[in-house]
């Protein structure tokens, strides 16, 4: 009986250890900040947050500032600011650099905000 318990424990420990060793380290955390001028409500913020959190290397997504339009993404060093801009463009939200330098404009068609959807239907 003890042999079986010991065998099961050894197998479980080896499976856990092998899974833990296969992880590649993501490196130190880096912050990416940009301004999203088209964010109008919490539904828009939730959509951006949910989509970005699905991507590899993203550790935290939050909005700051008085109007909560400043996006702060904490990510691994493997991600670049350009890859994050591409991700935001794919989601459908134009990103603007904090120094006022606009990125390439993208459509705002994927907004879940009822205000923006009503504007598009007019």
Q: Express each pLDDT in 12-37 by its tens digit.
A: 777 766 655 544 555 678 888 988 88
pLDDT band for position 96 (50/70/90)? confident
Contacts for 57 with CB less than 8 Å, ≥ 6 apart: 26, 75, 76, 78, 79
Cβ neighbours of residue 86 under 8 Å, at least 6 residues apart? none
**Can you give the pLDDT at residue 59?**
92
- 29-121 CATH fold: Alpha-Beta Plaits (3.30.70)
Q: Hey, where are the domains in the chain?
A: 29-121
Say how many C-beta atoms besides its own lie within 10 A of residue 99's C-beta: 6
Res. 87: pLDDT tops 80: yes
The answer, yes or no, to whether residue 105 has pLDDT greater than 70, is no
**Residues 95-118, mean pLDDT to the nearest whole number:** 53
């Amino acid at each position: 009986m003890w042999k079986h318990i010991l065998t099961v424990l050894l197998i479980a420990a080896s499976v856990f250890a092998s899974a833990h060793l296969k992880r590649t380290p993501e490196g130190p955390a880096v912050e990416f900040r940009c301004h999203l001028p088209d964010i109008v409500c919490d539904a828009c913020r939730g959509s951006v947050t949910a989509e970005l959190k699905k991507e590899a290397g993203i550790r935290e997504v939050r909005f700051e500032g008085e109007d909560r339009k400043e996006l702060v993404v904490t990510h691994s060093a493997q991600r670049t600011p350009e890859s994050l801009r591409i991700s935001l463009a794919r989601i459908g939200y134009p990103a603007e650099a904090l120094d006022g330098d606009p990125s390439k404009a993208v459509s705002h068609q994927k907004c879940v905000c009822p205000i923006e959807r009503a504007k598009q239907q007019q």
